Amino acid sequence: MNTAATPARAPARPGGAFAALVAVLADIARTPSGAAGLILLSLHLLVAISAPLWVPYDYREVNSLLILSAPGAEHWFGTDHLGRDTLTRTLLGGREALLVTGVATPVAVMWGGFTGIFFGLTGGRLDDLFMRFVDALLSLPWILKMLVLIVTFGTGLEVFIPTLAFFYGIPIIRVARAATHDVVARDFVQAARARGHGRMTIIGRELLPNVRDALLVEGAMRWSWMLLAFSSLSFLGFGVSPPTPDWGLMIANARGYMSFAPWGVLAPMIALSSLIIGINLTADALAKTLGVDRAQKAPV
Amino acid sequence: MLEPATRPRLEAGGHLLNIRGLSIGFTGRSGETLPILRHIDLAVGRGESIGIVGESGSGKSTLALAAMGYLKHGLNVIGGDVLFPDRDLFALSPGQLQDIRGRRLALIPQNSGQSLTPTLRVGAQLTETLKLHSNTAPERQAARVTELLAKVRLPDPHLIAGRYPHQLSGGQQQRVAIAMALAGEPEALLLDEPTTGLDVTTQAHILELLRDLAAQYGTSMIYVSHDLGAIARVCERVVVMYAGEIVLEGATRQVLSSPDHPYARGLLASLPRLTGSHLPAALDGIPPMPGGVGGGCAFAPRCALADSQCREQRPGLETTERGQRARCLRSARASEIPIAPAPGEAGRRPAIDDDRAALTLDAVSIRYARPTPLARLLRRAPAAATVSDISIAVIKGQTLGLVGESGSGKSTILKAIAGLLPVENGAISLPDNQTLAAEVERRNPSQLRAIQLIFQNPDESLNPRQTIAEIIAQPLRLYFDISGAELRRRSVEILDTVRLGAHYLERLPSQLSGGEKQRVAIARAFAAQPDIVLCDEVTSALDVSVQAAVLGLLDTLRRERGTTYLFVSHDLAVVRTLSHRVAVLYQGRLCEIGATARVYSLPSHPYTETLLSAVLEPDPDRAPRLAAHDAVESSPPAAGCPFQRRCARRLGAICDEQAPPWRDAGGGHRIRCHLPLDTLQSGPAPAV
Amino acid sequence: MLRMIVRRLLLGAVSIGMVSLIIFGGVELLPGDACTAYLEREAQGKLLENCRAQLGLDRPAWERYWGWMSNAARGDFGTTITGRERIGKLVGDRLLNTLLLTGCAMLAGIPLALLLGVVCALWRDRAVDLLFSSLAIFAMTIPEFISATLLILVFSVWLGWIPGIILTPADAPLIEFFPEILLPIAALAMVMTAHILRTVRSSVIETLASDYAQMAILKGVPYWRMVFRHILPNALLPTINVVALTIAWLLGGVVVIETVFNFPGLGRMMIDSISDRDLPVTQTLALIIALVYVGVNLLADVLTMLANPRLRTHKTRSA
């Protein structure tokens, strides 16, 4: 009887997509952690887009006189083992990762989402069989799956984007399918079926609007995991090729000189961590705002 | 002052529980305090049983929990105290409260299925209470558990003690909760809607049990319910709550027969009765939200007697001429508001009756569980069908009521008619021998349009992401292919027929009250201009006052448009108010069918009789009769009469082996029973 | 009950079959084969023929799949691409090392995570909760190679307590990995602990809000008794599966961590085999990891069935 203790959230008003986005962002910014996430995220995006215009040095500029020099007025974060400016390379080091994951994430959400909704609505033997296949794919560690493809096809963007989008779309299939199952059981879908609407109408009008939020939150989470995967590959030497600056690669290179030049690892580490934490905080706040109950999952 | 007549036991025992000026509220989004309970004064004497009645949002459950010194998360006490018997419960330490709760004050919760810990056996949960709150010696505890379970009339108490809660039926879980409350031999029992959600027969059994136990132990009872029938059965005194306030207090008999508050009168008038066939009178408007009460009387916006003074001045609880205490400035004139609808409306019955069937079901069977490949391989006998051999004709322009308890298959039949569940055998057909395809996908547009479905819970049946305009537009676009200004014109027109204005179009379902949402669902169904509307428990999720309005609306729409209804409900009184004919279902089998008045009187199928006699009416003089035990059956028997296992008038082996014959009682009234008509005519079976 | 377990076991077997098909079929689908991958530009003429003959690549695919599976079932995974070493022997030592690493991480991480998760839930929104919950978010979001590098930087470089790089050979007795192994254990345990902690915390909070928790309070059950008897058994049940998933994750995370610490385990072997384009070894490792994954999840499901009365006992009557 008494549900008044938690006043109902003001329902999202119908309106333009832009207005809805602004409303959601404002809601995210209401909590301290959500605001922190948004700030971190926008800062990173801003730097990634504009850094080439204002970084102090050329990221390729090798200077044998300045190898591993300590932070100072000229080089705020010191230089690396080739005498390149660490600050410049750190500021530019996220561009590749953000570009790859920024394209791969929406692709993964779309293909995983549609496939999941389709099988969730269809059900039956086909669905069972396909889910076995999905489970089997998930039982292999991501790093193995990715590495095999990368070693076979090479390490360009044209390999990274489809590979990440493919493998990270698979867990999204499961999320979309589960969300679809929940919605299909509800009476408004049954009502639409009984009226005689076609399957595409039911997907578009009844299912998608109700599955959308879960997919958005899942997409945000997957984004951070993709970044993590991309940087790990880069760290292991399977990512971008030098001299392109990339955080993972920078950390891997600077590790060898960690004992006397720790700034070399610290700068890219702080950059990458703050981006991933920013995405996670935003995703968490997004889940709360949209009322999506995000079950804790291991990043398989 | 208190009237001695209404509180006979006060002098004898003194107050056991005394709530004084209690206000409870929560903090709203913008930091303001929103009250849920306002200045509640309530004293309960020893051995007294008091009912707290109100609709959802009235604060009655908060009051019940507050009487145990408990507040749900987010609530806080704004003022007042709860004395038990002379110490403020809200001032006690957790340790002191633990000693009182369970030992001196015990709760019987609304939903026992969720209130029993799922990982502990029933016996262990009872033993825990004994250990904490009684002086039972450890070696005696097991025996005491069995004793308690037997006391709440559970069969095989030994077995039950070893079970987990999920292995019990809803009625059994409720009995376990009662046994647990009794274990500490408390001085007062708080009952929070203890029978809500149970089948009528189970509910009647539980209430009789509670009455007996209270009489036997002299325990005080505070019984919270929305159901005046249950309160009438158990309580001597009633408190009516509205918008967090007590608006009326008095002896049960008086409050139920001639209440001195307009709200209580409206509530009574909105109750559908088993004895009368007229539509209940609706109480217009909705209760205010917490914090939404202005300076005047909270009920003034919905009150027929309200004048400018009512809207400005907050009434106090005053003793009336008849000795009730009413929070109303116009209580002297309250009797101007009828508590029963004008009998004139009863004359509506003979509707358009050209005796043509709008919908025919011919020997329909439906099976949920398909045999697995393994079972088929092993040639296992398939389980009995969920719904079997249903033949019904629904006359055009009439309402056919379909009643039965949970598991009777009534909703299953509706789903099959709508094409959402495949029929295993038999045929469903529209006029002119149009047999409907089993799957909705294979039906043609005119067949689809002809049949529309309204669901029980509008929260589930309206897409939360669509505006009302989008919801209503769906059938209009699909069946009539209209758009633009014409679509909007038609939508407004349809909203108007369910008495909602055009300004609702841009709203989302979550911005509407329960009754408004159900109106939208009705509007959506009627937008298709259907011939047949299938109503699946359409008022079960609504408060009584709202229910009456929805019932009235449905009946008006039928009369104006000549629509045919198949109206499914577990509530026999509701079915009676709306139906021309009634079919009674048990375990997916038809027991009885006929004109409403005939089905509700003798001769009756033993099951119909059981159902009818278990119904609780808001009348302290009318006791339910328990004609059969309330065991819940999970599946129909393989052969014979579906009611064989519970029937009080069982003949013997013939009931188990042979399907009973249809007995024709005349006028289209047919009963399926082995007993001959004159025996069925001779009246009720002996009570068990 | 027994039927459910048997059913689950059968499903597990189906999963394994499916995974093996994916591992085998995946390689078949990729352009080239094990020999072209290994020989790269030299993949022509005699060299290629010899290699193919040695691996039996001239036989039809289904025959090779069947041979691979039936040999694997007997513990024979064939030879490395060079044909010089038995894969089974190579894997044996490495598997043991990785098991030591992950086993220690679990032993340390799981109890800690359970304890902290419960503590955070019971003191929700207090200082303890804020501290550990934030630490958990931090630990589970930053990449493993960063936390591992940080650990080395702090404990090896700055404090000089433990060496940051492991030089012990793969076939050394397990005890010789101490104390260097403590850092990789800590790195692995951190992420795992964080995940489980968050799950336990939300599960306990959810259970505290249940009707039966409220009922326990209202029947006068003392607080700690309520926590231990009514809350924890119900709250911890669903975490079994999350623990299993986390363990499965360990197998992936271990790849990065072993590389960072130069630890001679399965993970590093995998990276090496992929760098060396030694597909037979990669396939074997994939199969072993998938087996562990399926096995752990199966165990978790069976444990849940045994521990949860709703699954253990039949519903005798429907409510």
Mean pLDDT to the nearest integer, A112-138: 86
pLDDT attached to residue A165: 93
Distance CA B280, CA C6 (A): 57
The per-residue pLDDT for range B356-410, each reduced to its tens digit, is 889 999 999 988 766 666 666 666 666 778 888 899 999 998 999 999 888 888 9
Distance CA B112, CA C179 (A): 55
Domain containing residue B173: 118-185
Chain C residues within 8 A of B632 when measuring between CB atoms: 317-319
Q: Is B102 on the interface with C (CB under 8 A)?
A: yes
Of A9-18, B160-169, B634-643, the range with the lowest mean pLDDT is A9-18
- pLDDT score of B685 more than 70: no
CATH code for position B199: 3.40.50.300
**How far does the CA of residue B624 sit from the closest CA of chain C (Å)?**
23
**Largest pairwise CA distance in chain B:** 80
Distance CA C76, CA C86 (A): 8
My answer on whether B439 and B516 are in the same domain is yes
Residue B423 in domain: yes
Report the residue count for chain C: 319
- Residue in A2, A190, A192 nearest the CB of B72: A2
CATH code for position C182: 1.10.3720.10
My answer on whether B65 and B181 are in the same domain is no
Q: What is the mean pLDDT of chain C?
A: 84
Query: Are the beta carbons of B418 and A194 separated by less than 8 Å?
Result: yes
Chain B residues within 8 A of A6 when measuring between CB atoms: 74
Mean pLDDT to the nearest integer, B175-199: 90
A positions 63-122 inside 8 Å of C (CB): none
Which residue has better confidence, C249 or B247? B247
Residue B657 in domain: no
- pLDDT score of A132 more than 70: yes
pLDDT attached to residue B631: 67
CA dist list (Å): B463 to A7, A216, B470, B571: 21, 19, 10, 27
- Residue in B29, B62, B461 nearest the CB of A187: B461
- Residue at token pair 């496939």: A115
Mean pLDDT to the nearest integer, C149-164: 83
Query: Are the beta carbons of C143 and A235 separated by less than 8 Å?
Result: yes
Cβ–Cβ under 8 Å, residues B540 and B506: no
Residue to mutate among C35, C133, C149, C150, with most A CBs inside 10 A, is C149
CA dist list (Å): C154 to B407, C161, C189, C252: 66, 9, 17, 25
β-pairing verdict for B188-192 and B220-225: parallel
Rg (CA), chain A: 23
pLDDT attached to residue C201: 93
Query: Could you write out the DSSP letters of every residue in B308-344?
Result: HHHHHSPPP-EE-TTS-EE--TTGGGGGGS-SS--GG
Phi/psi-derived region of residue A115, left when phi > 0, alpha when psi is between -120 and 50, beta in every other case? alpha
Cβ–Cβ under 8 Å, residues A1 and B543: no
pLDDT attached to residue B17: 92
Residue B494 in domain: no
Question: What percentage of chain B reaches a pLDDT higher than 70?
Answer: 92
Residue B231 in domain: yes
Residue C48 in domain: no
Query: Are the beta carbons of A197 and B528 separated by less than 8 Å?
Result: no
Domain count, chain B: 4
Residue B149 in domain: yes
Which residue has better confidence, B278 or A246? A246
My answer on whether B224 and B302 are in the same domain is no
pTM: 0.85
Residue C42 in domain: no
Chain A residues within 8 A of C26 when measuring between CB atoms: 148
My answer on whether B310 and B190 are in the same domain is no
Distance CA B414, CA B393 (A): 14
- Residue in A140, A232, A277 nearest the CB of C256: A232
Residue to mutate among B72, B117, B202, with most C CBs inside 10 A, is B117
Of A237-251, B538-552, C126-140, C225-239, the range with the lowest mean pLDDT is A237-251
Cβ–Cβ under 8 Å, residues A172 and A109: yes
Domain boundary among B336, B371, B395: B336
pLDDT attached to residue A6: 34
- pLDDT score of A9 more than 50: no
Beta carbons within 10 angstroms of residue B176's beta carbon: 26
Token representation of residue B687: 């009570």
Q: What is the mean pLDDT of chain B?
A: 87
| Chain A residue at shortest CA distance from C155 | A259
**How far does the CA of residue C182 sit from the closest CA of chain A (Å)?**
19
Domain boundary among B573, B601, B629: B601
Burial track B63-93 (b if 16+ CB lie within 10 A, e otherwise)? bbbbbbbbbbeebebbebbbbbeeeebbeee
Distance CA C260, CA C245 (A): 23
Query: Are the beta carbons of A232 and C143 separated by less than 8 Å?
Result: yes
Name the nearest CA neighbour of B676 among B665, B687, B688, B684: B665
The per-residue pLDDT for range A72-87, each reduced to its tens digit, is 777 777 777 777 888 8
Query: Are the beta carbons of A232 and C249 separated by less than 8 Å?
Result: no
- Residue in B107, B120, B168 nearest the CB of C218: B107
DSSP B442: G
| Helix, strand or coil, per DSSP, at residue C260 | helix
My answer on whether B85 and B142 are in the same domain is no
Which residue has better confidence, B319 or B341? B319
Query: Are the beta carbons of C212 and B118 separated by less than 8 Å?
Result: yes
Chain A residues within 8 A of C198 when measuring between CB atoms: 296
Domain count, chain C: 1
pLDDT attached to residue A297: 43
My answer on whether B227 and B308 are in the same domain is no
| Chain C residue at shortest CA distance from A272 | C142
Of B157-166, B207-216, C273-282, the range with the lowest mean pLDDT is C273-282
**How far does the CA of residue B443 sit from the closest CA of chain A (Å)?**
8
My answer on whether B411 and B448 are in the same domain is yes
- pLDDT score of A294 more than 60: no
My answer on whether B268 and B301 are in the same domain is yes
- pLDDT score of B209 more than 60: yes
| Chain A residue at shortest CA distance from C270 | A144
Beta carbons within 10 angstroms of residue B395's beta carbon: 20
| Chain A residue at shortest CA distance from C149 | A255
Query: Are the beta carbons of A151 and C14 separated by less than 8 Å?
Result: no
| Chain C residue at shortest CA distance from B192 | C215
pLDDT attached to residue A2: 37
Residues 6 or more apart whose CB falls under 8 angstroms from that of B361 comprise B390, B391, B392, B393, B413, B417, B426, B427, B428
Query: Are the beta carbons of A194 and B75 separated by less than 8 Å?
Result: no
My answer on whether B521 and B585 are in the same domain is yes
Under the banding of pLDDT at 50, 70 and 90, the label for residue C25 is confident
Name the nearest CA neighbour of B201 among B608, B682, B649, B645: B608
Query: Are the beta carbons of A141 and C255 separated by less than 8 Å?
Result: yes
Chain C residues within 8 A of B163 when measuring between CB atoms: 313, 316
The per-residue pLDDT for range B231-259, each reduced to its tens digit, is 988 899 999 999 999 999 999 999 998 89
Residue C106 in domain: yes
- pLDDT score of B578 more than 80: yes
- Residue in A139, A251, A297 nearest the CB of C145: A251
Question: Which phi and psi angles does B258 have, rounded to 5°?
Answer: -150, 75
Q: Is B172 on the interface with C (CB under 8 A)?
A: yes
My answer on whether B87 and B45 are in the same domain is yes
My answer on whether B423 and B538 are in the same domain is yes
pLDDT attached to residue B565: 95
Q: Is B180 on the interface with C (CB under 8 A)?
A: yes
Distance CA B667, CA B603 (A): 13
Q: Is C123 on the interface with B (CB under 8 A)?
A: no
- pLDDT score of A4 more than 70: no
Distance CA C281, CA C276 (A): 10
Query: Are the beta carbons of A139 and C145 separated by less than 8 Å?
Result: no
Residue B578 in domain: yes
Domain containing residue C246: 88-277
β-pairing verdict for B188-192 and B49-53: unpaired
My answer on whether B438 and B547 are in the same domain is yes
- pLDDT score of C226 more than 90: yes
pLDDT attached to residue B379: 63
Residue C228 in domain: yes
Task: For residue C146, give the amino acid letter.
Answer: I
- Residue in B94, B117, B118 nearest the CB of C216: B117
Question: What percentage of chain C reaches a pLDDT higher than 70?
Answer: 97
- Residue in B100, B109, B116 nearest the CB of C220: B100
The per-residue pLDDT for range B482-508, each reduced to its tens digit, is 988 999 999 999 999 998 989 999 999
Name the nearest CA neighbour of B516 among B541, B483, B491, B490: B541
Residue B21 in domain: yes
Domain boundary among B601, B626, B657: B601
CA C311 distance to own-chain centroid: 26
Residue B349 in domain: no
Q: Is C216 on the interface with B (CB under 8 A)?
A: yes
Cβ–Cβ under 8 Å, residues B229 and B616: yes
